Amino acid sequence: MKVLVAVKRVVDYNVKVRVKADNSGVDLANVKMSMNPFCEIAVEEAVRLKEKGVATEIVAVSVGPTAAQEQLRTALALGADRAILVESNDELNSLAVAKALKAIVDKELPQLVILGKQAIDSDNNQTGQMLAALSGYAQGTFASKVEVAGDKVNVTREIDGGLQTVALNLPAIVTTDLRLNEPRYASLPNIMKAKKKPLDVVTPDALGVSTASTVKTVKVEAPAARSAGVKVKSVAELVEKLKNEAKVI
């Protein structure tokens, strides 16, 4: 089967971001960018499905700026066969991204689409579910285990009280949770080979997709800072402070 994997270019998860002084957003100039960690897990899962002989072709897709080609090359180095960039330098909301991905799904007709459960920049946790709605496919979100069995895929999902397993008809959408797998690193020879793999660039316009949004960001602020705490010297002092100063126990 053909597997489509969506990847997003985001600020690296180790970077402590700063809010811009004019409150227009977060300062991303000269900040290290990477593939969203949940997307790495999605790519890894697709590659493992190929190694098991379940997947025959892996297409990596990103909807984002020109620079997102870097993240697509990473996906190619990890084992994707080819890549598509839906290029837009605007900041797109999840629905616009889902619509662009839907246009790619209509063209590529994959049996399985794997996305991360959320991007660590916008923290939305929406795109996979929205793509599932637009394409009319079943969805297996927050997956910690994915097993393709015939014309169905069994997805074990991380839910609030524990784990839940659902059986989905293919084609289906799966979004990855952290414990689905441990992503591999790209080897140098594979990084070199990835440069020769095909990477197509299209625009939302060419796909006939509207990126209009019903939500706009008015302001971005730094969260309220916590006032500095104190170091206590002993457990006795800690208990005394919790009882008499903070009054929480």
Partner 1 sequence: MAILVIAEHNNGALGAATLNTVAAAQKIGGDVVVLVAGQNVGGVAEAAAKIAGVSKVLVADNAAYAHQLPENVAPLIAELGKGYSHVLAAATTNGKNFLPRVAALLDVDQISEIIEVVSADTFKRPIYAGNAIATVQSSAAVKVITVRGTGFDAVAAEGGSAAVEAVSGPADAGKSAFVGEELAKSDRPELTAAKIVVSGGRGMGNGDNFKILYALADKLGAAVGASRAAVDAGFVPNDMQVGQTGKIVAPQLYIAVGISGAIQHLAGMKDSKVIVAINKDEEAPIFQVADYGLVADLFEAVPELEKAV
Could you tell me the CA-to-CA distances from 8 to 70, 154, 199, 227 in Å, in that order? 10, 25, 15, 35
* Structure token digits, residue 168: 């989905």
What is the DSSP track for 152-204? Answer: EEEEEEEETTEEEEEEEESSEEEEE-GGG--PPPPPHHHHHHHTTS-EEEE-H
Q: Which of 1, 166, 201, 202 binds partner 1 (CB under 8 A)?
A: 166
Q: Which of 161, 195, 203, 211 binds partner 1 (CB under 8 A)?
A: 161
Which of positions 30-89 make contact with partner 1 (CB under 8 A)? none
Tokens 């969506």 map to which residue? 6
Tokens 């620079």 map to which residue? 67
Q: Does 249 bind partner 1 (CB under 8 A)?
A: yes
Tokens 């020769």 map to which residue? 196
User: Considering the complex, what minimum distance in angstroms separates the CB of residue 89 from partner 1?
Assistant: 19
Strand pairing category for 112-116 and 138-149: unpaired
Which of positions 225-244 make contact with partner 1 (CB under 8 A)? 226, 229-236, 238-239, 241-242
* Structure token digits, residue 104: 């790619």
3-state secondary structure of 117: coil
Which of positions 79-138 make contact with partner 1 (CB under 8 A)? 93-95, 98, 117-118, 120-134, 136-138
Count of residues engaged in binding partner 1, rule: CB under 8 A: 80
Of the candidate spans 67-75, 80-88, 150-158, 196-204, the one that interacts with partner 1 by CB under 8 A turns out to be 150-158
Decide whether 12 or 57 has the Cβ nearer to partner 1.
12
User: Considering the complex, what minimum distance in angstroms separates the CB of residue 195 from partner 1?
Assistant: 31
Contacts of 201 (CB under 8 A, 6+ apart): 69, 84, 85, 87
Decide whether 79 or 137 has the Cβ nearer to partner 1.
137
Q: Which of 33, 190, 201, 213 binds partner 1 (CB under 8 A)?
A: 213
User: Considering the complex, what minimum distance in angstroms separates the CB of residue 70 from partner 1?
Assistant: 20
